[in-house]
Amino acid sequence: MSFVRLSFVLSSFTFRLAVLYALLLGVSVAILLGFIYWSTAGFMARQTDATIDAEIQGLAEQYRRRGLTGLSTLIVERVARDPGGAGVYLLADNDYQPLVGNLHAWPTAEPDGDGWLEFRLREPVAGRPAEPPTEHAARAMVFRLRGGLRLLVGRDVRELSATRAVIQDALAWGLAMTAGLALLGGSLMSAGVVRRIEAINEVGREIMDGDLSRRAPSDGSGDEFDQLAVNLNRMLARIEALMASVRQVSDNIAHDLRTPLSRLHTKLSQLRDTDLPAESAASVDAAINDAEELLSAFNALLRIARVESGSRRAAFTDLDPVPLLHDVAELYEPLAADKGQTLDVRPDLSAASGAADADMGRGLCVHGDRDLLFQALANLLDNAIKYTPEGSRILLDAIALSGALDISVTDSGPGIPAELRRKVVQRFYRIDESRSAPGHGLGLSLVQAVAQLHGAALRLDDANPGLRVVLRFDQAKSLMA
């Protein structure tokens, strides 16, 4: 569970954007701080080196002019003049034996190619014997004099090291704070972005659930997200218009064909009423049946169109679903009985079944159209009876949930494969196995249209085995007695 959560967090856009933001900001700040370090601590180190270099040049000059004596005197003078100072001097012979200076021994470290030497001062600097021997860093340059002498001039760089450490500390803290702030800022920023994307996503989901009238929120700011929302909305409006025109065309066809078809039906009926040989009579009966089937498909199509137009919403009333359920079950019970099926009604809308806000003893009511709800439930029962084998069990029930009402028809038949459940609500869609049964594939489309008109969700579930069709009414409220 926690792993799933973690991987979800890691894969979330918010997290990745925040990390990316922190990383970019962190790298930029690190480069900036590196430059600051180079130009402060580095500057100080270069200053030290320049001082040492100048001193060496000075001493070498003295040696050239006044020989060894002059050099020694000068070194002694310098050491004496600045007993606690940072200067380190040592003049040694060819075998590194110290001659003059404030170092007791030649450092063991090897100088680099340029003659620079880093070493640790382990002894008290001459002139300060009271101090316990401490260890600190020193930097020196080695210079070879004529006659095999070696001159070491250096600086105790502990001040420099300390300063450098302070700068390093400050920079490290700065970097850490930058990382923290960057993560925080990144999270806030990406949360803002994600919130806006999520708002658009939410609309997308609702549209896929069938509510094509939903639109992405636009704040009118004209920024990229706003433009995305606006473009999306334009696209949706276009799709809706196209769908409406397709529907309009099919409705018009149904409407226009109905009149000639009903004339055909009338003429066939008239023909049937005349004296016909038995053979012709049978053919005419079959033709009448066909015409009736066509008419009924057209009527079903037009009924769906009328329901979808939403005009019937004006006539909605608050109604108790329980008598409705009993009525529709009573109507279909004989049909089920003829097929050896059992049809049970179990409306359970009492407060005890989970509706926290429902008053005791009162059920829930649905705001809707009595005839259309009856029609929808009739279609569901009709399907259940038609598409389940003899001896199946069919259950019509209603369950009150908090703030919602589920009315469902459950059967113990073969069910509908998950991948086809979305398709069966499409107009004229019929599962291959059911093509032999009477019907025109519009029953569930009408149920869907009725559900949408009522703001209810139509869901097809697996009843293990069988099919469970659920109509969920979200705005169910307590029935006023």
Partner 1 sequence: MRVLIIEDDGQLAAYLAKAFGEVGALVEHAADGRDGLLQAAGGDYDVLVVDRMLPLLDGLGIVRTLRASGDKTPVLILSALGDVDDRVEGLRAGGDDYLVKPFAFSELHARVEALLRRAVPGDQPATRLVVADLEMDLLTREVVRAGERIALQPREFRLLEYLMRHAGQVVTRTMLLEQVWDYNFDPQTNVIDVHVSRLRGKIDKDFDPPLLQTVRGAGYVLRAA
Contact residues for partner 1 (CB under 8 A)?
255, 258-259, 261-263, 265-266, 269-270, 272, 288, 295-296, 299-300, 302-303, 306, 311-312, 314-315, 327, 330-332, 334-335, 338, 369-372, 374-375, 378-379, 382, 385-386, 438-439, 443
Distance between CA atoms of residues 476 and 455, nearest Å: 10
Residue partners of 478: CB distance under 8 A and separation at least 6:
355, 357, 358, 359, 362, 363, 364, 365
Q: Which is nearer to partner 1, 212 or 297 (CB)?
A: 297
Distance between CA atoms of residues 403 and 477, nearest Å: 7
What is the CA angle 268-270-273, rounded to 5?
A: 110
Query: Got the DSSP string for 371-405?
Result: HHHHHHHHHHHHHHHHHS-TT-EEEEEEEEETTEE
Distance between CA atoms of residues 228 and 203, nearest Å: 13
The minimum distance between CB 258 and partner 1, in angstroms, equals 6
Q: Which is nearer to partner 1, 221 or 270 (CB)?
A: 270
* Long-range contacts of the stretch 224-233 (C-beta < 8 A, 24+): 225/193, 225/196, 225/197, 225/200, 228/200, 229/200, 232/200, 232/203
Q: Which is nearer to partner 1, 99 or 331 (CB)?
A: 331
Q: What three-state secondary structure class fits 432?
A: helix
Q: Which is nearer to partner 1, 199 or 302 (CB)?
A: 302
Instruction: Match 């200076």 to its residue by tokens.
Output: 101
The minimum distance between CB 349 and partner 1, in angstroms, equals 20
The minimum distance between CB 304 and partner 1, in angstroms, equals 11
Length of the chain: 481
Q: Which is nearer to partner 1, 28 or 269 (CB)?
A: 269
Q: Are 447 and 376 in contact (CB under 8 A)?
A: yes
The minimum distance between CB 193 and partner 1, in angstroms, equals 48
The minimum distance between CB 373 and partner 1, in angstroms, equals 9
Q: Which is nearer to partner 1, 245 or 266 (CB)?
A: 266
Closest by CA to 186, choosing from 15, 44, 45, 351, is 15
The minimum distance between CB 392 and partner 1, in angstroms, equals 16
The minimum distance between CB 474 and partner 1, in angstroms, equals 24
Dihedral sign, Cα of residue 54, residue 60, residue 64, residue 70: positive
Closest by CA to 106, choosing from 126, 91, 84, is 91
Looking at the DSSP bridge assignments, the partners of residue 393 are 342
What is the CA angle 230-235-236, rounded to 5?
A: 95
Q: Which is nearer to partner 1, 276 or 302 (CB)?
A: 302
The minimum distance between CB 377 and partner 1, in angstroms, equals 10
The minimum distance between CB 371 and partner 1, in angstroms, equals 5
Q: Which is nearer to partner 1, 132 or 438 (CB)?
A: 438
DSSP 145: P
Q: Are 403 and 357 in contact (CB under 8 A)?
A: yes
Q: Which is nearer to partner 1, 158 or 258 (CB)?
A: 258
The minimum distance between CB 250 and partner 1, in angstroms, equals 17
